[in-house]
Amino acid sequence: MKRQLISRLENKTAVIGIIGLGYVGLPLLLCFIKAGYRVLGFDTDKDKVEKLAAGQSYIKHIPAEPIAMAVTTGMLGVTSDFSRAGEADALIICVPTPLTGHREPDLSFVINSVDTVLPYIRPGQVVSLESTTYPGTTDEELLPRLESSGFRVGKDFFLLFSPEREDPGNEHYSTRTIPKVCGGVTPDCLDVGKALYGAVIDRVIPVSCTKTAEMTKLLENIHRAVNIGLVNELKMVCDTMGIDIREVIDAAATKPFGFTPYYPGPGLGGHCIPIDPFYLTWKAREYGLNTRFIELAGEVNTAMPEWVVTKVMHALNDRGKTLNGARVLVLGIAYKKNIDDMRESPSVVLMQKLVSHGAIVDYSDPHVPVFPRIRRCHFDLTSVDLTLENLKSYDCILIATNHDAFDYEAVYANAPLIVDTRGVYRRESSKVVQA
């Protein structure tokens, strides 16, 4: 089985199945197609399936042209019919791993994906999980389910964990150029994994087991979460002391060793950094361990939106206004600049908190023309054009995401008050409040 599968992967006669066609699955799908593989994409969202089948893209930084070409040439098929899973030689799972309302891991998307394709799994397939999760998920949750079909891992089928490392909108790295960590349940599984990803990724990093691969992704994101938490805490200290935190960071960054700059903001966003650390804190409790350092960083980062809203409130008070009844325009609601990704965006939390204090809130974001329906929150709003009249009509402009498309000079010239969470304005000014 192993030799036959590796041979099909190497000569590109293997069919690659991608389960979950979002910000991770869609770029990976296109990467395999570009390398010469025929790909079958699976998603429960029929709207996504219909758009891809029509050669359209629903993610702003992913162009439609390669999708349309792949559909036309027959290299891409998309479906919501999971009974077709048996057509694929490789099944790569790229579905969300959110938190529950109690901030515990929600593996329902992963488990449902496996359970749905399980009746159609056949000998000679490789299954790879890319969704970020706690160490042990692949061995403890996926392996028993797959073996319940009577197949033997490493003999009849092959099981991997290879964490996604997508960075939406990053022009310097693509799916192909970002090194790929890969761990197998058995050595033979790892050999298959290296063949699967080695044909489409410039560098594959093999590790000893799936737990190591799972922990690697958590370390990457916890590293960022902890350092961002540190600099967010220092931002509050510096603000109280009358020190410009960004000037401090820029000066410290001139040290050629031992320092990596991280910058403060209104809170954490994206699917990874606000969520993944809690997967490890939850799993660590199973071993009687408390991850105090990680949890403290989470507390600091989670508190940042309230800090920003307080700054808005005080800035308005200083001008004889109250937040209750004030008109506030939030600039940027994607979780980071120059993309349309709204996952866990701190801008949404800011909007919720502002409304809870009685503010009248609008937003402007050229990448998100209509406020989307997202979990646990919805605003019936569309993006406001940044005309001079609009800018002058708001009591406060809150810069939450610093898209390059914004005309910051026009904002500065016409807005009566700007609260800046991203350090866009580094000049001394009576109308700009850093938050």
Catalytic residues: 272
> Under 8 Å CB-to-CB from 309, ≥6 apart: which residues?
323, 350, 353, 354, 357
How buried is residue 407: exposed, middle or buried, by Cβ count under 10 Å (0-12/13-18/19+)?
Answer: exposed
| Whole-angstrom distance, CA of residue 346 vs CA of residue 285 | 28
By three-state DSSP, how is residue 257 classified?
Answer: coil
Distance CA 142, CA 194 (A): 20
Contact 129, 101 (CB under 8 A): no
Strand 157-161 and strand 180-184: the pairing is antiparallel
Which contiguous run of DSSP H or E holds residue 184?
Answer: strand 180-184
Residues facing residue 362 across a β-bridge: 329
**Alpha-carbon span 4 to 125, nearest angstrom:** 10
Distance CA 328, CA 360 (A): 6
Kindly report the CA angle at 188 between 187 and 194, in degrees rounded to 5? Answer: 90
By the 8 A CB rule, do 205 and 181 touch? yes
| Tokens found for residue 314 | 């005080």
CB distance 47 to 4 below 8 Å:
no
Q: Which two tokens stand for residue 224?
A: 């960022």
Euclidean distance between CA atoms 80 and 60, whole angstroms? 23
Phi, psi of 360 (to 5 degrees): -100, 115
Q: For residues 123 and 420, what is the distance between their CA atoms, to the nearest angstrom?
A: 57
Positions of E strands within 222-343: 327-331
Tell me if 89 sits within 8 A of 16, measured CB to CB: yes
